[in-house]
Amino acid sequence: MATAQELTPAAIRALTREVSAAEAEALHEQISQLMRQRIESGEWPEHLKLPAEPELAGALNVSRGTVRRAIRTLIEAGLLKQTRGKGTFVRGQMLEQEFAQELISTAQSLDREGVEYQTQVLSARVIQAPSHIAAHLGLPADDLSVLAIRRTRSVAGEVVYLLDNYLPTVLCPDLSPQVLQDRSLFGVLEHDYGVTVESVRRTFSAILPDDDVSAAMSLRPGVPLLYLEQISYQANGNSVEYSDVWVRGDRVRISSWIKR
């Protein structure tokens, strides 16, 4: 994370002047809405550090519980984040991703938006494909070996995507997973192996992660995820890749442009 600015006393005073106990709206709702306006307008920039709850409650002349509820609302909305031992910070804006409507990878989508990200290969090994993956890839019964690669993609130091990719070993027997630190899988398949992905089938589901996914993504309990199952095909209809992808629901918004 970049060096965090701290909320200034003047900014806190400005916020205090707008909070009114006379308003019908609950105090915690007022505070969360006023904070939201400042974050979404850019007045409170990404990585801005908020004062500790007791300090902020005292400055606003409200209870600590009121401040905690306001902050929790904004955490759930993806606008604030809490880091254990460090404090509460303004989170970056939601990422707008369009991979629900066109053949584009997560890496290509981030590149298009100009978002800086880091890819880390967590593991890569040859395994015998589970039955559902073997079926999707059309593997023969006498050769079920696939290269299983697990990667993360992080934005501003947070894991936003977890990707499990499965490739038939016969397709790319000498693929070094480390090349995927800096390149997209689609790009490697096309440019290094002459395998062009012409179409994909993507299925989206909203889920709560299991312990394995939570650990890999360093998630706190209860963070919602978007799960994406993807099967990639060549022009001849042969499937060349199967993947499970988990996406932070509080950091990424999936959009599509549909024209009649």
Residues 210-251 have pLDDT tens digits of 999 999 999 887 788 999 999 999 999 999 999 999 999 888
Choose among 118, 126, 128, 185: nearest CA to 157: 118
Q: Does domain 9-90 have CATH number 1.25.40.10?
A: no
Q: Is there a contact between 48 and 90 (Cβ–Cβ < 8 Å)? A: yes
CATH (one of 3.40.1410.10, 3.20.20.10, 3.40.50.300, 3.30.9.10) for 95-254? 3.40.1410.10
46-65 pLDDT per residue, tens = 789 999 999 999 999 999 99
Q: Which residue has the tokens 């939201």?
A: 36
Choose among 186, 193, 149: nearest CA to 170: 193
* Pairwise CA distance, residues 34 & 64, whole Å: 17
**Can you say whether the dihedral through the CA atoms of 206, 215, 5, 9 is positive or negative?**
positive
Amino acid at 37: Q
Range list for CATH 3.40.1410.10 in the chain:
95-254
* Pairwise CA distance, residues 33 & 27, whole Å: 10
pTM for the full model? 0.71
Q: Which residues are paired to 204 by β-bridges?
A: 228
Range list for CATH 1.10.10.10 in the chain:
9-90
Angle, helices 64-76 vs 27-41, to 10°: value is 50
* Pairwise CA distance, residues 72 & 26, whole Å: 15
Q: pLDDT per position in the chain (260 positions), as tens?
A: 445 688 888 888 888 888 875 564 688 999 999 999 998 888 888 789 999 999 999 999 999 999 999 999 988 777 888 887 889 988 766 777 776 667 778 887 888 777 888 999 999 999 999 999 999 999 999 999 999 999 999 987 889 999 999 999 999 889 988 888 888 898 899 999 999 999 999 999 999 999 999 999 998 877 889 999 999 999 999 999 999 999 998 888 887 777 77
Dihedral pair phi/psi, residue 67, rounded to 5° = -65, -40
Choose among 173, 199, 159, 167: nearest CA to 185: 167
